[in-house]
A and B are shown apart, each in its own frame.
Chain A
């Protein structure tokens, strides 16, 4: 084995494998601490759950080069101002429902999931709901009976009846409203929200 150059030796690459892996793990752990702090609910990037008491706007940031969420004036969901605890409870129920009804195997959330139905990241702000005053109720009605109120836009696709109760539907809407306020670095690109009171 004397003809093996040093850079092709087994021993060198064993050490490289160990050291490179260890180094990358240390860097990842360091970055993870920082990232987790920055995505905890209530941080700048991921708002507290009581954001559902407010309007959510998107404004272009010249600094960052894309639209960023702006928490606006008071606009309580279903007309009731919730405490931080109540809001968290409602969003939690909504997230549980989203998981229990397996939404992610048709839809994407933050772009992850399946591609059979539209992305839900900014579903709360989608112009498809028509007008701001009717949006909440329209969403609840749709979730509770998606077959009758199908919104397939000519594709023939219909959301199945998942047995969603009114309470679950309202919680899902709360979850969607909260999610729409997450700073997603401009994803999805070029999104234009529904016209809301106080816009611009």
Chain B
């Protein structure tokens, strides 16, 4: 019996038997996250292609459906990735086993079944009559939170289970700075979703509360959540000291919530809300990049101090990609058009799409991928995933192609966005004729063409990534404690 188990758990082979209950659950979440990531990419390609060939799948999967699946798959896979990441670290951080694992498993299957039904209804039924029943059963028609109301209620229930699992585990085990921030952040993250669960005819009121969900998720609570994951990840990949990462986390929370909560105001310039939001939104959102700079300093400083000595190169590389991607995508690209004097011309143009692509990828996709590499390392028996790893070209090319692809899309969309701001807004008085003149312009079309080309490059990177996630470390026998020859030669 002992021999059989030893054989089954041979170092280098993938087995969830090595994992704790929370980590097993995390692997399930990560698996669905990656499937949805691929769906996001494919529907993004379709939507991008429809800009160039509007007849493609017209009246079959129209742009509104393709784009809805594109952005919904993204939101949902990232939530799966966050939940998976937290389940992965909760036992390690609390020093005890997961509380309510069976409930957590049930919640996973309920959520996954619900997501499958929602996506099928999006694709098959698509739209319904202008009645409340459509909002409850088919599609809520509100960007990013299109999921019908029945699914909203399910999501809240699943989030409550998740919150219970995490909070009860920390209560049973030990608390830390990271876990304290994490649990409070999850309360806010779950609670905010409720603000998106009502109908009103008043579009100003609708968007006012809609931004509570979208902004306070993406530009506040999600950022703090990834700050917690980053803090834990730097301890695990680099061996950074707890007091250092915890202090950095507090600084980031102070700066992130200090700027991001009232930074909400940059969405309140043009939706009917009062003019004082010009000043408040402009000022606080201009400060939003500061915590992201702090994150870059934090990650680079820790990596430098530890001379990049680590046993999981792909995870660290994606963590570094996260630090820079977050700073440039969310920070710089957000700042570029956050002041009302500029936003008046850029709001509702491809500028926003440019910012959205780099920010979501840079801030969130990257760190979840890093966590998945950490999970794979453990699932294969704590193997060394650094120098000399067989097939390392795969993760390096996956990282390079997907990052270069997303940056390429970002720049291409920005060029189209510039053209749109000038031609539609500045020159043509924002009329429909002005809108279409801008869309017909050569420079706009060139931008959309190159966006598509870079979209294919990104897809190639993501396909390589998924392949790599399945095979990386296969047959690797060196333990994670192994120090590479390079570092030995350097006398480290």
Contacts and interface: CB of A to CB of B under 8 A. Distances in A.
Interface string B328-349: 0000000000000000110111
A10 B425 contact: no
A177 interface: no
A101 interface: yes
Contacts of B280: 31
A154 B142 contact: no
A94 B200 CA distance: 11
Contacts of A183: 272
Interface string B402-440: 000000000000000000100001100111110111011
A24 B261 contact: yes
Contact of B251 (A13, A27, A64, A109): A13
A72 interface: no
A65 to B, nearest CB: 10
A175 interface: yes
A14 B251 CA distance: 8
Contacts of A192: 429, 431
Contacts of B129: 97, 100, 163, 165, 168
B202 A25 contact: no
Given A13-B254, A28-B261, A105-B143, 11 more contacts: A14-B250, A17-B181, A24-B258, A92-B201, A95-B199, A99-B134, A101-B127, A102-B141, A106-B64, A118-B436, A184-B270
A114 interface: yes
Contacts of B205: 36, 39-41, 46
Contacts of B476: none
Given A24-B262, A28-B262, A96-B135, A104 B273 contact: no
List 4 tightest A-B contacts by C-beta distance, closest first: A97-B130, A99-B141, A153-B436, A188-B430
A106 B62 CA distance: 9
Interface residues of A, number: 90
Interface of B is mostly: helix
Given A20-B258, A35-B273, A95-B201, A112 B143 contact: yes
B135 to A, nearest CB: 6
A88 interface: yes
A78 interface: no
B207 A102 contact: no
B131 A100 contact: yes
B275 interface: yes
15 contacts: A45-B274, A96-B201, A100-B135, A104-B142, A105-B143, A106-B62, A111-B348, A112-B271, A113-B143, A114-B67, A123-B432, A154-B440, A156-B55, A158-B58, A183-B272
Contact of B347 (A38, A92, A111, A161): A111
Interface string A120-159: 0011001110000000000000000001000111111110
Interface in A1-28: 1, 8-10, 13-14, 16-17, 20-21, 24-25, 27-28
Nearest to A42: B202
A114 B278 CA distance: 23
Contacts of B67: 105-106, 114, 116
B261 A21 contact: yes
Contacts of B326: none
Contacts, number: 270
B353 interface: yes
Contacts of B206: 95
B376 interface: no
B361 to A, nearest CB: 18
Contacts of A55: none
Contacts of B345: 189
Given A20-B257, A96-B132, A158-B54, A112 B127 contact: no
A170 to B, nearest CB: 11
B431 A96 contact: no
Interface of A: 1, 8-10, 13-14, 16-17, 20-21, 24-25, 27-28, 31, 34-36, 38-41, 45-46, 49, 64, 88, 91-106, 108-116, 118-119, 122-123, 126-128, 147, 151-158, 160-165, 168, 171-172, 175, 179, 182-192
Contact of B141 (A103, A153, A154): A103
Q: Which of A46, A172, A185 has the most CB of B within 10 A?
A: A185
A59 B338 CA distance: 27
Interface string B252-264: 0110011001101
A184 B199 contact: no
Nearest to B126: A102
Given A185-B278, A189-B425, A96 B130 contact: yes
B138 interface: yes
Contacts of B344: 186-189
A183 to B, nearest CB: 6
A163 B47 CA distance: 22
B240 to A, nearest CB: 14
A14 B426 CA distance: 47
A37 B352 CA distance: 29
B64 A99 contact: no
Contacts of B247: 8-10, 13
B44 to A, nearest CB: 12
Contact of A162 (B127, B254, B274): B127
A16 B250 contact: yes
A46 B272 contact: yes
Nearest to B202: A41
Given A21-B257, A190-B429, A102 B272 contact: no
